[in-house]
Amino acid sequence: MTATAAPMNVSVRKISEIKMSSEYLRKGTDVEALKKSLESVGLIHPVTINLEGELLAGARRVQAATELGWEEIPVQVVEENALVQELISIDENLVRTPLTGLELEKYLNRGRDIYEQLYPSANKVDISTEDLTSEEKAKAKAEEEADEDSFAAVTAEKTGLSKSVILGAITGDALDSDAVKHARGEGSLNATKTNEIIKLDMDIQEEILPLLADKTVKETRRIIAAAKEGGLEAAIEESEKVVPIPREYSQMLSPMKRVNKSISRILVEELRYEGPEQQKINNELMALKNNLVQYFRMVGMEDGE
């Protein structure tokens, strides 16, 4: 089962007559490479329009042809209902155009909605954040892998994306509130925190967001767990228990572990190095030693006791 349209009629249409109104069209992108391709081999794949002359797929091809001075372009005309037309536009973006994380999620979720309307007998994508046991997860994964008719399966074959990536993207778009999407777009909410906050109902996500600023993933999970148990008040109470760690301290943790591990190995194995970088390494270690002495004095731990 696929969501492809019926056979299309190919003709030539004046570019000026093509309407560019679909929200899925990618306009104003870099088409220099595409222009070179059109000049050398021509247009291999006609653009797609509907009976009203509205462009469904091929905005970048139209843009490149326009910039090259073409007045006409080959088109294929589809005679399908509005849902199929929309799915054609979504497929074009999924297959041909690099998308941001939020765009990918939006298009996949809308595509899933259309597909399941067009094919009601197909297995539905389960949008859920309920905690599952390992056995339940394994069973669900096995069922999904065996399913060849779901939107996830069909789209995986078209795009090369894995089913897990597609399902995760659909879930993200379906369960993210507008406030969460905005925070992600700004870069103030990472993927791990997003996976935690979508466990809450959309109406509380926006209220919880400010509590997660500058919180670690571990602290975020504590706050989200409190919100699930006792709502916003419980989340606020839990967030107030968190002692914020200055950014400078948090940035030291991973590098310190690596340095300590390396030094321990050097000492245990008595590794010696006398190459051109030896003096530079020794200088950095001496500076580290001096800073550590001053740090321990500042916190009242003489000699690192």
Residue type at 196 in one-letter notation: E
Confidence of residue 7 (pLDDT cuts 50, 70, 90): very low
Q: What is the mean pLDDT of residues 215-240?
A: 91
Torsion angle, CA of 252/257/259/265, rounded to 10 degrees?
170
- According to DSSP, the residues that pair with 18 across neighbouring strands are none
Q: Which pLDDT does position 94 carry in this prediction? A: 87
**Residues in CB range of 99: below 8 A, 6 or more apart:** 93, 107
State the Cα–Cα distance between residues 244 and 223, nearest whole angstrom: 14
Q: What is the CATH number of domain 9-81?
A: 3.90.1530.10
Per-residue pLDDT tens digits for 113-172: 999 999 888 888 777 655 555 565 555 556 555 567 788 888 888 888 888 888 888 988
**Mean pLDDT of the chain, nearest integer:** 85
Sign of CA dihedral 142, 168, 85, 157: negative
CB 50 within 8 A of CB 85: yes
Q: Per DSSP, which regions of the chain are E strands?
A: 9-14, 47-50, 55-57, 72-78
174, burial (CB in 10 Å: exposed 0-12, middle 13-18, buried 19+)? middle
Q: Say which range, 83-92, 247-256, 262-271, has the weakest mean pLDDT.
A: 247-256
How confident is the model over 169-203, as pLDDT tens digits? 898 899 899 999 998 888 888 888 888 998 899 88
pLDDT cut 90: percent of the chain above it: 46
Q: To the nearest 10°, the Cα dihedral for 124, 129, 135, 141?
A: 40
Q: What residues does each domain of the chain span?
A: 9-81, 99-174, 176-241, 254-304
Angle ∠(166,168,173) on CA atoms, nearest 5: 95
Rounded-to-integer distance, Cα 50 and Cα 304, Å: 74
Q: Is 145 helix (H, G, I), strand (E, B) or coil?
A: helix
- Stretch among 233-242, 276-285, 296-305 having the lowest mean pLDDT: 296-305
pLDDT digits (tens, 9 = 90+) for 38-59: 999 999 889 999 999 999 999 9
Confidence tier at 263 by pLDDT (50, 70, 90):
very high
SS3 227: helix
